[in-house]
Chain A
Protein backbone atom coordinates (compact mmCIF):
# COMPACT_ATOMS: atom_id res chain seq x y z
CA UNK A 1 0.00 0.00 0.00
CA UNK A 2 1.45 3.37 -0.90
CA UNK A 3 0.27 6.82 -0.05
CA UNK A 4 0.38 9.16 -2.95
CA UNK A 5 -0.20 12.63 -1.62
CA UNK A 6 -0.27 13.59 2.05
CA UNK A 7 2.62 12.73 4.38
CA UNK A 8 1.37 10.18 6.88
CA UNK A 9 1.01 10.96 10.53
CA UNK A 10 2.08 8.79 13.42
CA UNK A 11 -1.48 7.52 13.88
CA UNK A 12 -1.80 6.62 10.25
CA UNK A 13 1.47 4.76 10.27
CA UNK A 14 0.57 2.92 13.45
CA UNK A 15 -2.60 1.81 11.75
CA UNK A 16 -0.54 0.16 9.02
CA UNK A 17 2.58 -1.02 10.80
CA UNK A 18 3.53 -2.62 14.07
CA UNK A 19 6.64 -1.23 15.80
CA UNK A 20 8.95 -3.80 17.29
CA UNK A 21 11.15 -2.28 19.97
CA UNK A 22 13.94 -3.72 22.07
CA UNK A 23 15.75 -1.65 24.67
CA UNK A 24 19.29 -1.88 25.95
CA UNK A 25 20.00 -0.23 29.29
CA UNK A 26 23.41 0.42 30.78
CA UNK A 27 23.41 1.16 34.51
CA UNK A 28 26.42 2.18 36.58
CA UNK A 29 26.60 0.22 39.82
CA UNK A 30 26.66 1.95 43.19
CA UNK A 31 29.81 0.23 44.36
CA UNK A 32 32.47 2.08 46.31
CA UNK A 33 35.26 1.22 43.92
CA UNK A 34 35.63 0.60 40.21
CA UNK A 35 35.09 -2.73 38.51
CA UNK A 36 38.69 -3.83 38.27
CA UNK A 37 40.66 -1.47 40.52
CA UNK A 38 40.36 0.45 43.75
CA UNK A 39 39.66 3.89 42.35
CA UNK A 40 36.39 5.42 43.49
CA UNK A 41 33.29 4.60 41.47
CA UNK A 42 31.88 7.97 42.55
CA UNK A 43 33.65 10.16 40.04
CA UNK A 44 31.04 12.87 39.34
CA UNK A 45 32.54 16.24 40.09
CA UNK A 46 36.11 14.98 40.32
CA UNK A 47 38.70 17.13 38.55
CA UNK A 48 39.76 15.58 35.23
CA UNK A 49 41.99 12.52 35.47
CA UNK A 50 42.19 12.76 39.25
CA UNK A 51 40.40 9.45 39.80
CA UNK A 52 42.74 7.04 38.01
CA UNK A 53 45.42 4.48 38.73
CA UNK A 54 47.73 2.42 36.53
CA UNK A 55 45.02 -0.24 36.11
CA UNK A 56 42.19 1.95 34.87
CA UNK A 57 44.63 4.03 32.85
CA UNK A 58 45.49 0.85 30.99
CA UNK A 59 49.23 1.28 31.47
CA UNK A 60 51.55 -1.49 30.30
CA UNK A 61 51.88 -4.33 32.77
CA UNK A 62 48.72 -3.85 34.81
CA UNK A 63 46.07 -6.46 35.54
CA UNK A 64 42.34 -6.28 36.43
CA UNK A 65 40.87 -7.70 39.64
CA UNK A 66 37.12 -8.29 39.86
CA UNK A 67 35.04 -6.32 42.38
CA UNK A 68 32.98 -8.94 44.22
CA UNK A 69 30.20 -6.51 45.13
CA UNK A 70 29.71 -5.60 41.48
CA UNK A 71 29.07 -9.27 40.78
CA UNK A 72 26.62 -9.41 43.69
CA UNK A 73 24.75 -6.33 42.52
CA UNK A 74 24.42 -7.77 39.04
CA UNK A 75 23.08 -11.05 40.40
CA UNK A 76 20.72 -9.07 42.63
CA UNK A 77 19.43 -7.22 39.58
CA UNK A 78 19.09 -10.42 37.61
CA UNK A 79 17.03 -11.99 40.40
CA UNK A 80 14.81 -8.92 40.59
CA UNK A 81 14.21 -9.36 36.87
CA UNK A 82 13.38 -13.06 37.20
CA UNK A 83 16.51 -14.22 35.37
CA UNK A 84 18.34 -17.51 35.55
CA UNK A 85 21.82 -17.42 37.01
CA UNK A 86 23.99 -20.06 35.27
CA UNK A 87 26.61 -21.63 37.48
CA UNK A 88 29.43 -20.79 35.08
CA UNK A 89 30.11 -17.40 33.58
CA UNK A 90 33.18 -15.46 32.51
CA UNK A 91 34.52 -12.21 31.21
CA UNK A 92 35.65 -11.59 27.63
CA UNK A 93 37.62 -8.93 25.82
CA UNK A 94 35.70 -6.75 23.36
CA UNK A 95 38.36 -5.27 21.09
CA UNK A 96 38.17 -1.90 19.35
CA UNK A 97 40.13 1.37 19.24
CA UNK A 98 38.73 4.55 20.72
CA UNK A 99 40.40 7.20 22.86
CA UNK A 100 38.03 6.68 25.81
CA UNK A 101 38.96 2.99 25.92
CA UNK A 102 42.44 2.91 27.46
CA UNK A 103 43.31 -0.74 26.95
CA UNK A 104 42.02 -0.87 23.38
CA UNK A 105 39.54 -3.44 24.62
CA UNK A 106 36.68 -3.41 27.07
CA UNK A 107 36.39 -6.22 29.59
CA UNK A 108 32.80 -7.34 29.14
CA UNK A 109 30.83 -10.57 28.88
CA UNK A 110 30.06 -12.25 25.59
CA UNK A 111 28.79 -15.79 25.43
CA UNK A 112 28.61 -16.73 29.12
CA UNK A 113 26.96 -13.77 30.87
CA UNK A 114 26.03 -13.65 34.54
CA UNK A 115 22.32 -14.12 33.80
CA UNK A 116 19.76 -14.93 31.12
CA UNK A 117 16.08 -15.29 30.34
CA UNK A 118 14.21 -12.99 32.67
CA UNK A 119 11.21 -10.73 32.27
CA UNK A 120 9.70 -7.47 33.44
CA UNK A 121 5.91 -7.17 33.60
CA UNK A 122 3.95 -3.96 33.78
CA UNK A 123 0.71 -2.33 32.65
CA UNK A 124 0.27 0.39 30.05
CA UNK A 125 -3.15 1.86 29.32
CA UNK A 126 -4.70 -1.04 31.16
CA UNK A 127 -2.87 -3.55 29.01
CA UNK A 128 -0.49 -6.04 30.64
CA UNK A 129 2.89 -6.17 29.00
CA UNK A 130 5.49 -8.84 29.71
CA UNK A 131 8.82 -7.86 28.23
CA UNK A 132 11.49 -10.53 28.11
CA UNK A 133 14.97 -9.80 29.42
CA UNK A 134 17.54 -11.53 27.24
CA UNK A 135 20.42 -11.08 29.62
CA UNK A 136 21.98 -9.00 32.35
CA UNK A 137 25.74 -8.85 32.24
CA UNK A 138 28.64 -6.98 33.79
CA UNK A 139 31.35 -4.88 32.16
CA UNK A 140 33.42 -1.76 32.67
CA UNK A 141 32.53 1.79 31.63
CA UNK A 142 34.71 3.88 29.34
CA UNK A 143 36.23 7.28 29.97
CA UNK A 144 34.60 10.44 28.67
CA UNK A 145 35.39 12.59 25.69
CA UNK A 146 34.85 16.26 25.13
CA UNK A 147 34.98 17.47 21.59
CA UNK A 148 36.31 20.90 20.66
CA UNK A 149 33.23 22.86 19.75
CA UNK A 150 31.05 20.08 21.19
CA UNK A 151 30.07 18.57 17.85
CA UNK A 152 31.96 15.37 17.20
CA UNK A 153 31.66 15.45 13.43
CA UNK A 154 33.32 18.84 13.19
CA UNK A 155 35.78 18.70 16.05
CA UNK A 156 39.42 19.01 15.11
CA UNK A 157 40.45 17.67 18.46
CA UNK A 158 39.00 16.07 21.54
CA UNK A 159 40.11 15.64 25.11
CA UNK A 160 39.95 12.51 27.21
CA UNK A 161 39.07 12.18 30.88
CA UNK A 162 39.52 8.71 32.34
CA UNK A 163 37.84 9.29 35.72
CA UNK A 164 34.90 7.20 34.57
CA UNK A 165 36.97 4.48 32.91
CA UNK A 166 36.49 1.24 34.76
CA UNK A 167 33.34 2.12 36.69
CA UNK A 168 31.22 -1.06 36.96
CA UNK A 169 28.51 -1.09 34.34
CA UNK A 170 25.59 -3.46 34.11
CA UNK A 171 24.06 -4.11 30.72
CA UNK A 172 20.39 -5.13 30.62
CA UNK A 173 19.25 -6.33 27.23
CA UNK A 174 15.51 -6.51 26.68
CA UNK A 175 13.81 -8.71 24.12
CA UNK A 176 12.10 -6.90 21.24
CA UNK A 177 8.74 -7.42 22.95
CA UNK A 178 7.70 -3.77 23.13
CA UNK A 179 5.14 -2.55 20.65
CA UNK A 180 4.85 1.18 21.24
CA UNK A 181 6.82 4.15 22.47
CA UNK A 182 4.51 4.26 25.51
CA UNK A 183 5.41 0.69 26.37
CA UNK A 184 9.06 1.55 25.91
CA UNK A 185 8.78 4.48 28.24
CA UNK A 186 6.94 2.50 30.87
CA UNK A 187 9.47 -0.34 30.63
CA UNK A 188 12.24 2.14 31.37
CA UNK A 189 10.34 3.77 34.22
CA UNK A 190 9.73 0.39 35.85
CA UNK A 191 13.24 -0.87 35.24
CA UNK A 192 14.78 2.27 36.68
CA UNK A 193 12.50 2.04 39.68
CA UNK A 194 13.58 -1.52 40.37
CA UNK A 195 17.28 -0.68 40.08
CA UNK A 196 16.89 2.21 42.52
CA UNK A 197 14.83 0.10 44.86
CA UNK A 198 17.37 -2.67 45.10
CA UNK A 199 20.10 -0.13 45.67
CA UNK A 200 22.33 -0.95 42.71
CA UNK A 201 21.88 2.21 40.64
CA UNK A 202 20.86 5.80 41.38
CA UNK A 203 18.63 6.11 38.31
CA UNK A 204 20.12 9.38 37.15
CA UNK A 205 19.56 9.81 33.43
CA UNK A 206 20.97 13.32 33.14
CA UNK A 207 24.28 12.38 34.70
CA UNK A 208 24.42 9.22 32.66
CA UNK A 209 24.35 6.63 35.39
CA UNK A 210 21.29 5.14 33.69
CA UNK A 211 21.58 5.06 29.89
CA UNK A 212 19.29 3.69 27.23
CA UNK A 213 19.66 2.70 23.60
CA UNK A 214 16.83 1.39 21.47
CA UNK A 215 16.47 -0.95 18.53
CA UNK A 216 13.37 -0.40 16.45
CA UNK A 217 11.92 -1.88 13.30
CA UNK A 218 8.51 -1.92 11.70
CA UNK A 219 6.49 -4.74 10.22
CA UNK A 220 2.97 -5.37 9.04
CA UNK A 221 0.62 -6.63 11.74
CA UNK A 222 0.53 -10.39 11.65
CA UNK A 223 4.02 -10.76 10.23
CA UNK A 224 6.37 -12.84 12.33
CA UNK A 225 9.64 -11.86 10.77
CA UNK A 226 11.38 -8.74 11.98
CA UNK A 227 11.98 -5.77 9.76
CA UNK A 228 15.31 -4.01 9.35
CA UNK A 229 16.54 -2.88 12.75
CA UNK A 230 17.71 0.65 13.42
CA UNK A 231 19.68 1.44 16.53
CA UNK A 232 18.86 4.73 18.24
CA UNK A 233 21.24 6.33 20.75
CA UNK A 234 21.70 9.53 22.70
CA UNK A 235 18.29 9.71 24.37
CA UNK A 236 18.88 11.39 27.71
CA UNK A 237 15.41 11.34 29.23
CA UNK A 238 12.33 9.15 29.18
CA UNK A 239 10.56 11.82 27.19
CA UNK A 240 13.39 11.80 24.66
CA UNK A 241 13.05 8.04 24.33
CA UNK A 242 9.38 8.32 23.58
CA UNK A 243 9.86 11.19 21.13
CA UNK A 244 12.76 9.50 19.40
CA UNK A 245 10.87 6.27 18.95
CA UNK A 246 7.81 8.08 17.62
CA UNK A 247 10.04 9.94 15.20
CA UNK A 248 11.58 6.67 14.01
CA UNK A 249 8.17 5.07 13.59
CA UNK A 250 7.15 7.92 11.33
CA UNK A 251 10.45 8.03 9.47
CA UNK A 252 10.53 4.32 8.82
CA UNK A 253 6.82 4.14 8.06
CA UNK A 254 7.06 6.84 5.43
CA UNK A 255 10.01 5.15 3.79
CA UNK A 256 8.22 1.81 3.73
CA UNK A 257 5.12 3.46 2.30
CA UNK A 258 7.26 4.70 -0.56
CA UNK A 259 8.54 1.19 -1.14
CA UNK A 260 12.04 2.03 0.07
CA UNK A 261 14.22 -0.16 2.21
CA UNK A 262 15.28 0.87 5.67
CA UNK A 263 19.03 1.22 6.09
CA UNK A 264 20.40 -0.84 8.95
CA UNK A 265 22.30 1.81 10.83
CA UNK A 266 22.86 3.67 14.06
CA UNK A 267 21.07 6.97 14.47
CA UNK A 268 21.50 9.56 17.18
CA UNK A 269 18.61 11.51 18.69
CA UNK A 270 19.15 15.25 18.42
CA UNK A 271 16.91 16.91 20.99
CA UNK A 272 17.17 20.37 19.45
CA UNK A 273 15.99 19.11 16.07
CA UNK A 274 13.43 16.65 17.37
CA UNK A 275 14.91 14.12 14.96
CA UNK A 276 17.27 11.19 14.68
CA UNK A 277 20.33 11.74 12.53
CA UNK A 278 22.29 8.97 10.87
CA UNK A 279 25.69 8.48 12.50
CA UNK A 280 27.80 7.87 9.43
CA UNK A 281 29.12 4.35 10.03
CA UNK A 282 32.87 3.93 9.87
CA UNK A 283 34.32 2.51 6.70
CA UNK A 284 35.31 -0.53 8.67
CA UNK A 285 32.52 -2.10 10.63
CA UNK A 286 33.25 -3.18 14.17
CA UNK A 287 34.58 -6.72 14.45
CA UNK A 288 34.93 -7.01 18.20
CA UNK A 289 36.93 -10.23 18.07
CA UNK A 290 35.61 -11.38 21.44
CA UNK A 291 37.74 -13.92 23.29
CA UNK A 292 37.85 -15.09 26.91
CA UNK A 293 39.68 -12.65 29.20
CA UNK A 294 42.92 -14.49 30.03
CA UNK A 295 43.68 -12.27 33.04
CA UNK A 296 40.51 -13.26 34.90
CA UNK A 297 39.56 -16.75 36.04
CA UNK A 298 35.92 -17.60 35.32
CA UNK A 299 33.10 -17.23 37.81
CA UNK A 300 31.42 -20.21 39.38
CA UNK A 301 28.35 -19.06 41.28
CA UNK A 302 26.78 -21.93 43.15
CA UNK A 303 23.37 -22.17 44.73
CA UNK A 304 24.72 -20.85 48.05
CA UNK A 305 25.95 -17.62 46.51
CA UNK A 306 22.75 -17.03 44.58
CA UNK A 307 20.48 -17.82 47.51
CA UNK A 308 22.44 -15.53 49.76
CA UNK A 309 21.96 -12.71 47.27
CA UNK A 310 18.30 -13.59 46.91
CA UNK A 311 17.83 -13.51 50.68
CA UNK A 312 19.35 -10.05 50.79
CA UNK A 313 17.15 -8.77 47.96
CA UNK A 314 15.27 -5.67 49.12
CA UNK A 315 11.52 -5.52 48.62
CA UNK A 316 10.66 -4.85 45.01
CA UNK A 317 8.25 -2.11 43.92
CA UNK A 318 5.55 -4.60 42.97
CA UNK A 319 5.81 -6.35 46.31
CA UNK A 320 5.68 -3.03 48.13
CA UNK A 321 2.60 -1.89 46.20
CA UNK A 322 0.81 -5.05 47.17
CA UNK A 323 1.88 -4.74 50.78
CA UNK A 324 0.77 -1.10 51.06
CA UNK A 325 -2.66 -2.11 49.90
CA UNK A 326 -2.81 -5.17 52.08
CA UNK A 327 -1.34 -3.81 55.32
CA UNK A 328 -2.36 -0.18 55.16
CA UNK A 329 -5.50 -0.25 53.09
CA UNK A 330 -4.22 2.13 50.45
CA UNK A 331 -5.92 2.17 47.10
CA UNK A 332 -4.00 0.71 44.15
CA UNK A 333 -3.54 4.20 42.78
CA UNK A 334 -2.22 5.64 46.03
CA UNK A 335 0.01 2.65 46.58
CA UNK A 336 1.51 3.06 43.12
CA UNK A 337 2.15 6.77 43.55
CA UNK A 338 3.67 6.39 47.02
CA UNK A 339 5.96 3.61 45.87
CA UNK A 340 7.10 5.35 42.68
CA UNK A 341 10.15 6.58 44.52
CA UNK A 342 11.56 4.37 47.23
CA UNK A 343 12.31 7.38 49.41
CA UNK A 344 8.63 8.29 49.42
CA UNK A 345 7.66 4.76 50.36
CA UNK A 346 10.14 4.88 53.23
CA UNK A 347 8.77 8.21 54.39
CA UNK A 348 5.26 6.79 54.27
CA UNK A 349 6.22 3.83 56.40
CA UNK A 350 8.02 6.00 58.89
CA UNK A 351 4.96 8.23 59.22
CA UNK A 352 2.68 5.27 59.76
CA UNK A 353 5.08 3.75 62.24
CA UNK A 354 5.04 6.95 64.27
CA UNK A 355 1.27 6.85 64.55
CA UNK A 356 -0.01 8.78 61.54
CA UNK A 357 -3.06 7.17 59.92
CA UNK A 358 -2.19 5.62 56.53
CA UNK A 359 -4.62 7.56 54.40
CA UNK A 360 -3.58 10.87 55.91
CA UNK A 361 0.07 10.05 55.46
CA UNK A 362 -0.52 9.14 51.83
CA UNK A 363 -2.53 12.27 51.12
CA UNK A 364 -0.01 14.63 52.64
CA UNK A 365 2.92 12.95 50.84
CA UNK A 366 1.24 12.85 47.47
CA UNK A 367 -0.19 16.34 47.79
CA UNK A 368 1.47 19.15 49.66
CA UNK A 369 4.80 17.47 50.34
CA UNK A 370 5.22 16.42 46.71
CA UNK A 371 4.54 19.97 45.59
CA UNK A 372 6.97 21.55 48.05
CA UNK A 373 9.62 18.97 47.28
CA UNK A 374 9.38 19.71 43.58
CA UNK A 375 9.31 23.48 43.95
CA UNK A 376 12.19 23.67 46.37
CA UNK A 377 14.21 20.86 44.75
CA UNK A 378 14.51 19.38 48.20
CA UNK A 379 13.09 15.98 49.05
CA UNK A 380 11.40 15.57 52.41
CA UNK A 381 14.28 13.57 53.86
CA UNK A 382 16.68 16.40 53.21
CA UNK A 383 14.34 19.21 54.24
CA UNK A 384 14.68 20.98 57.58
CA UNK A 385 11.31 19.66 58.71
CA UNK A 386 12.03 16.05 57.83
CA UNK A 387 9.80 13.04 58.24
CA UNK A 388 9.66 13.48 62.01
CA UNK A 389 8.48 17.07 61.71
CA UNK A 390 5.86 16.14 59.15
CA UNK A 391 4.63 13.35 61.38
CA UNK A 392 4.22 15.80 64.25
CA UNK A 393 2.34 18.23 62.03
CA UNK A 394 -0.04 15.65 60.59
CA UNK A 395 -0.79 14.34 64.06
CA UNK A 396 -1.76 17.87 65.11
CA UNK A 397 -4.31 17.92 62.30
CA UNK A 398 -5.60 14.44 62.97
CA UNK A 399 -5.92 15.26 66.63
CA UNK A 400 -7.91 18.40 65.88
CA UNK A 401 -5.36 20.85 67.25
CA UNK A 402 -5.05 22.69 63.95
CA UNK A 403 -7.22 22.70 60.93
CA UNK A 404 -6.16 21.59 57.52
CA UNK A 405 -5.43 24.94 55.98
CA UNK A 406 -3.38 26.15 58.94
CA UNK A 407 -1.38 22.97 58.73
CA UNK A 408 -0.71 23.55 55.04
CA UNK A 409 0.59 27.03 55.77
CA UNK A 410 2.77 25.70 58.57
CA UNK A 411 4.16 23.00 56.32
CA UNK A 412 5.13 25.56 53.70
CA UNK A 413 6.72 27.80 56.31
CA UNK A 414 8.65 25.10 58.17
CA UNK A 415 9.55 22.81 55.27
CA UNK A 416 13.03 24.10 54.50
CA UNK A 417 14.13 25.72 57.76
CA UNK A 418 12.55 23.10 60.03
CA UNK A 419 10.97 23.65 63.42
CA UNK A 420 8.66 22.14 66.00
CA UNK A 421 5.08 22.42 64.69
CA UNK A 422 3.45 22.01 68.10
CA UNK A 423 5.57 24.77 69.59
CA UNK A 424 4.82 27.13 66.72
CA UNK A 425 1.08 26.49 67.02
CA UNK A 426 1.25 27.14 70.73
CA UNK A 427 3.42 30.26 70.51
CA UNK A 428 1.38 31.88 67.82
CA UNK A 429 -2.00 30.77 69.02
CA UNK A 430 -2.75 28.97 65.81
CA UNK A 431 -4.71 26.27 67.51
CA UNK A 432 -7.91 25.19 65.84
CA UNK A 433 -11.07 26.58 67.21
CA UNK A 434 -13.15 23.50 67.78
CA UNK A 435 -14.90 24.18 71.03
CA UNK A 436 -18.57 23.49 70.43
CA UNK A 437 -19.83 26.53 72.29
CA UNK A 438 -17.41 28.86 70.59
CA UNK A 439 -18.30 27.48 67.15
CA UNK A 440 -22.01 27.85 67.79
CA UNK A 441 -21.49 31.44 68.81
CA UNK A 442 -19.51 32.15 65.64
CA UNK A 443 -22.03 30.39 63.43
CA UNK A 444 -24.91 32.35 64.92
CA UNK A 445 -22.98 35.55 64.40
CA UNK A 446 -22.31 34.89 60.74
CA UNK A 447 -25.88 33.89 60.07
CA UNK A 448 -27.04 37.10 61.63
CA UNK A 449 -24.59 39.17 59.60
CA UNK A 450 -25.27 37.57 56.20
CA UNK A 451 -28.97 37.41 55.55
CA UNK A 452 -28.50 37.40 51.74
CA UNK A 453 -26.30 34.33 51.81
CA UNK A 454 -28.69 32.63 54.20
CA UNK A 455 -31.56 33.35 51.90
CA UNK A 456 -29.60 32.08 48.86
CA UNK A 457 -28.73 28.88 50.63
CA UNK A 458 -32.29 28.27 51.75
CA UNK A 459 -33.21 29.01 48.17
CA UNK A 460 -31.12 26.06 46.97
CA UNK A 461 -27.70 27.58 46.25
CA UNK A 462 -25.11 25.29 47.85
CA UNK A 463 -22.40 27.79 47.07
CA UNK A 464 -23.87 30.22 49.57
CA UNK A 465 -22.99 27.85 52.37
CA UNK A 466 -19.33 28.20 51.52
CA UNK A 467 -19.61 31.97 51.80
CA UNK A 468 -20.94 31.56 55.30
CA UNK A 469 -18.20 29.08 56.19
CA UNK A 470 -15.75 31.60 54.78
CA UNK A 471 -17.15 34.23 57.09
CA UNK A 472 -16.44 32.09 60.14
CA UNK A 473 -12.97 31.28 58.89
CA UNK A 474 -12.28 34.97 58.41
CA UNK A 475 -13.49 35.81 61.89
CA UNK A 476 -11.18 33.17 63.36
CA UNK A 477 -8.28 34.02 61.06
CA UNK A 478 -8.59 30.60 59.47
CA UNK A 479 -8.43 28.60 62.64
CA UNK A 480 -11.91 27.27 62.84
CA UNK A 481 -12.60 23.61 62.25
CA UNK A 482 -14.15 24.00 58.83
CA UNK A 483 -15.91 20.66 58.83
CA UNK A 484 -17.56 21.27 62.16
CA UNK A 485 -18.56 24.77 61.08
CA UNK A 486 -20.14 23.47 57.91
CA UNK A 487 -22.05 20.88 59.87
CA UNK A 488 -23.31 23.44 62.39
CA UNK A 489 -24.44 25.82 59.66
CA UNK A 490 -26.39 23.09 57.92
CA UNK A 491 -28.11 22.22 61.20
CA UNK A 492 -28.98 25.81 61.97
CA UNK A 493 -30.26 26.59 58.50
CA UNK A 494 -32.26 23.52 57.87
CA UNK A 495 -34.65 24.20 60.54
Chain B
Protein backbone atom coordinates (compact mmCIF):
# COMPACT_ATOMS: atom_id res chain seq x y z
CA UNK B 1 0.00 0.00 0.00
CA UNK B 2 1.68 3.20 -1.15
CA UNK B 3 1.79 6.17 1.11
CA UNK B 4 -0.12 9.03 -0.50
CA UNK B 5 0.97 12.64 -0.48
CA UNK B 6 -2.11 13.86 1.34
CA UNK B 7 -1.55 11.26 4.06
CA UNK B 8 1.93 12.65 4.62
CA UNK B 9 0.57 16.19 4.66
CA UNK B 10 -2.03 15.13 7.23
CA UNK B 11 0.55 13.44 9.44
CA UNK B 12 2.87 16.44 9.17
CA UNK B 13 0.07 18.69 10.33
CA UNK B 14 -0.83 16.38 13.22
CA UNK B 15 2.82 16.63 14.26
CA UNK B 16 2.97 20.37 13.54
CA UNK B 17 5.91 19.99 11.16
CA UNK B 18 5.98 22.68 8.52
CA UNK B 19 7.14 21.10 5.26
CA UNK B 20 7.67 22.60 1.83
CA UNK B 21 6.18 20.83 -1.16
CA UNK B 22 9.62 19.52 -2.03
CA UNK B 23 10.11 18.21 1.49
CA UNK B 24 6.70 16.61 1.40
CA UNK B 25 7.53 14.58 -1.68
CA UNK B 26 10.97 13.59 -0.40
CA UNK B 27 9.60 12.40 2.93
CA UNK B 28 6.75 10.64 1.20
CA UNK B 29 9.20 8.56 -0.78
CA UNK B 30 11.37 7.77 2.24
CA UNK B 31 8.49 6.97 4.55
CA UNK B 32 6.90 4.84 1.88
CA UNK B 33 10.06 2.75 1.67
CA UNK B 34 10.35 2.44 5.42
CA UNK B 35 6.72 1.44 5.77
CA UNK B 36 7.11 -1.15 3.04
CA UNK B 37 9.79 -2.77 5.16
CA UNK B 38 7.88 -2.34 8.39
CA UNK B 39 4.82 -3.96 6.85
CA UNK B 40 6.64 -7.30 7.23
CA UNK B 41 5.23 -7.32 10.72
CA UNK B 42 1.86 -8.28 9.34
CA UNK B 43 3.27 -11.70 8.47
CA UNK B 44 4.25 -12.48 12.06
CA UNK B 45 1.79 -14.68 13.91
CA UNK B 46 0.91 -12.88 17.13
CA UNK B 47 -2.34 -14.65 17.81
CA UNK B 48 -1.10 -16.19 21.02
CA UNK B 49 0.50 -13.17 22.68
CA UNK B 50 -0.55 -9.93 24.30
CA UNK B 51 1.06 -6.52 23.96
CA UNK B 52 4.12 -5.49 25.89
CA UNK B 53 3.59 -1.89 26.89
CA UNK B 54 5.99 -2.13 29.81
CA UNK B 55 9.06 -4.36 29.65
CA UNK B 56 9.79 -3.77 33.32
CA UNK B 57 6.91 -5.74 34.80
CA UNK B 58 6.35 -3.14 37.49
CA UNK B 59 2.96 -2.12 38.88
CA UNK B 60 1.70 0.58 41.24
CA UNK B 61 4.73 2.87 41.12
CA UNK B 62 3.40 5.86 43.01
CA UNK B 63 4.40 8.45 45.60
CA UNK B 64 2.84 9.86 48.72
CA UNK B 65 0.86 13.08 48.41
CA UNK B 66 3.59 15.40 49.63
CA UNK B 67 4.52 18.89 48.54
CA UNK B 68 7.99 19.74 47.28
CA UNK B 69 9.61 23.04 46.54
CA UNK B 70 8.66 24.74 43.30
CA UNK B 71 10.92 26.53 40.90
CA UNK B 72 11.19 30.27 41.45
CA UNK B 73 9.24 32.15 38.77
CA UNK B 74 12.41 33.44 37.17
CA UNK B 75 13.76 29.94 36.73
CA UNK B 76 10.45 28.72 35.27
CA UNK B 77 10.50 31.52 32.70
CA UNK B 78 14.26 31.69 32.15
CA UNK B 79 14.17 29.82 28.84
CA UNK B 80 10.98 31.42 27.52
CA UNK B 81 11.41 32.63 23.93
CA UNK B 82 8.48 35.00 24.25
CA UNK B 83 7.53 36.38 27.59
CA UNK B 84 5.12 38.93 28.92
CA UNK B 85 5.96 39.77 32.52
CA UNK B 86 5.44 36.50 34.39
CA UNK B 87 3.64 34.69 31.60
CA UNK B 88 4.65 32.75 28.51
CA UNK B 89 3.26 34.50 25.48
CA UNK B 90 1.98 32.97 22.24
CA UNK B 91 0.50 34.29 19.02
CA UNK B 92 -3.07 34.21 17.82
CA UNK B 93 -4.68 30.90 18.70
CA UNK B 94 -7.87 31.59 16.72
CA UNK B 95 -9.44 28.24 17.15
Contacts and interface: CB of A to CB of B under 8 A. Distances in A.
B37 interface: no
A298 B54 contact: yes
Contacts of B69: 38, 53
Nearest to B88: A160
A40 to B, nearest CB: 6
A147 interface: yes
A184 interface: no
Given A160-B88, A300-B59, A300-B60, A52 B66 contact: no
Contact of B71 (A54, A68, A99, A301): A54
Max chain A C-beta neighbours (<10 A), residue from B13, B70, B77: B70
Interface residues of B, number: 37
Contacts of B86: 47-50
Interface in A31-48: 31-33, 37-40, 47-48
Nearest to A39: B70
Contacts of A69: 64-65
Interface in B28-74: 53-54, 56, 58-73
A157 B87 contact: no
Max chain B C-beta neighbours (<10 A), residue from A48, A279, A292: A48
Contact of B63 (A65, A160, A300): A65
Given A33-B65, A65-B63, A90-B53, A57 B92 contact: no
A160 B87 contact: yes
Given A66-B61, A147-B93, A53 B70 contact: yes
A441 interface: no
B62 A66 contact: yes
B67 A40 contact: yes
Contacts of B84: 157, 159
Given A48-B87, A297-B56, A299-B59, A53 B16 contact: no
B63 A68 contact: yes
B76 interface: yes
Interface string B14-35: 1010000000000000000000
B95 A70 contact: no
Contacts of A155: 92-94
Given A39-B70, A53-B71, A279-B95, A158 B90 contact: yes
A29 B53 CA distance: 28
Given A90-B53, A159-B84, A294-B53, A67 B70 contact: no
Contacts of B63: 38, 65-68
Contacts of B59: 297-300
B89 interface: yes
Nearest to A99: B90
A50 B73 contact: yes
Nearest to B83: A159
Contacts of A296: 61
Given A153-B94, A300-B59, A159 B65 contact: no
A38 B68 contact: yes
Contacts of A52: 70-71, 76
A138 to B, nearest CB: 11
A267 B60 CA distance: 39
Contact of B68 (A39, A146, A282, A294): A39
Contacts of B88: 49, 99, 159-160, 162
Interface in A54-113: 54, 57, 65-71, 90, 97, 99
Given A155-B93, A156-B92, A33 B67 contact: yes
A297 B60 contact: yes
Contacts of A327: none
A298 B64 CA distance: 17
Contacts of B71: 52-54, 57
Interface string A119-162: 00000000000000000000000000111000011011111111
Contacts of B10: 284
A289 interface: yes
Given A32-B66, A67-B65, A279-B95, A297 B54 contact: yes
Contacts of B81: none
B2 to A, nearest CB: 21
A65 B65 CA distance: 11
Contacts of A50: 70, 72-73, 76, 86
Contacts of B67: 32-33, 38-40
Given A32-B65, A32-B67, A68-B65, 17 more contacts: A33-B66, A38-B66, A40-B67, A40-B70, A50-B70, A51-B70, A66-B62, A66-B63, A69-B64, A97-B16, A152-B95, A156-B92, A158-B92, A159-B88, A279-B95, A280-B95, A298-B59
5 contacts: A32-B66, A50-B73, A147-B93, A161-B87, A294-B53
